[in-house]
Amino acid sequence: MKSIITALTGFAATALLWVFFRPPFGKNIVRLNTDERLVALTFDDGPSPPYTDQLLDILAKHNVKATFFMIGNRIERHPETLQRAIAEGHQIGNHSYSHPVLGFCPPSYIQREIERTDDLLRQAGVTGELVIRAPILTRFLPVAWVLAKGDRTHISCNVWSWDWTTQNPDKITETVLKKTLSSTGAGSIIVLHDGKAENKNANRSGTVKATDQIITGLKQEGYRFVRLSDVGNW
Ligand SMILES: [Zn+2]
């Protein structure tokens, strides 16, 4: 009997943890809904000049559109960078106001973090659906609940660049190309960082150079680059 109770308690605890960390409701997008060789480049934690501007130059050179998940308090510091990204046709998403680990915050706090950045993006002229990426991708239960309540889409990814652990451009490029080209690669969502939440002065020149190489490498394999809103249909 005791062993049955222990097993049931263990099962219940595991189920609770699973629901907290992997909530089975709300829209969470890991890949684009396509069989074509389309990929989405996404950049988190900006705006962060001069690196965001350097990235915009590279994207323009290759005629590629991307999606930037921006932090509200960085937008307040660098509104001109957001304006440039909008003017050049990139999609802008919400990456919270101050980049806390939202998954461990109460719902009212999560709501406020999202709304403040929504307001900044709307005031800057961003139109259409405002997609969200939770900081550190912590779409845990309270985050999923707040997003589901507002019928909002959370954008995760299937390709990590690991550019927060290294700024060696060749390493970042290798990691991204290897992961994207494995299996079919269709519809991959790639995460890179034009800023660093914990350090506004962090150097992102490795990410900038890697982005140039990644675009060249994927184009050679016949991939095209899209914004998340170009595919949608989730
Ligand atoms: Zn982030």
pLDDT band at 10 (very low <50, low <70, confident <90, very high): confident
Q: Which two tokens stand for residue 171?
A: 């390493």
State in Å: Cα 135 to ligand 1 middle: 4
Active-site pick, 78, 95, 99, 193: 193
Predicted confidence at residue 28, as pLDDT, reads: 95
Residues less than 5 Å from ion ligand 1, measured at CB:
44-45, 135, 197
Q: Is 92 helix (H, G, I), strand (E, B) or coil?
A: strand
Active site residue 35: no
Q: Which two tokens stand for residue 176?
A: 């991204």
Predicted confidence at residue 9, as pLDDT, reads: 87
Predicted confidence at residue 54, as pLDDT, reads: 98
Task: Quote the DSSP letter at residue 103.
Answer: G
Predicted confidence at residue 146, as pLDDT, reads: 97
pLDDT tens per residue, range 144-178: 999 999 999 999 999 999 999 999 999 999 999 99
pLDDT tens per residue, range 96-153: 999 999 999 999 999 999 999 999 999 999 999 999 999 999 999 999 999 999 999 9
Active site residue 193: yes
Whether the model clears a pTM of 0.85, i.e. scores above it, the answer is yes
State in Å: Cα 120 to ligand 1 middle: 17
Active-site pick, 44, 53, 194, 212: 44
State in Å: Cα 5 to ligand 1 middle: 41
pLDDT tens per residue, range 30-83: 999 999 999 999 999 999 999 999 999 999 999 999 999 999 999 999 999 999
Write down the number of H helices and E strands in the chain: 9, 8
Q: Which two tokens stand for residue 168?
A: 């060696």
pLDDT tens per residue, range 182-206: 867 789 999 999 999 989 889 999 9
- In this structure, which topology does domain 27-231 adopt according to CATH? TIM Barrel (3.20.20)
Q: Which residues have C-beta within 8 Å of that of residue 195, sequence separation ≥ 6?
A: 44, 45, 46, 47, 48, 51, 52, 71, 74, 202, 204
Q: Residue 85: is its pLDDT beyond 70?
A: yes
Predicted confidence at residue 234, as pLDDT, reads: 65
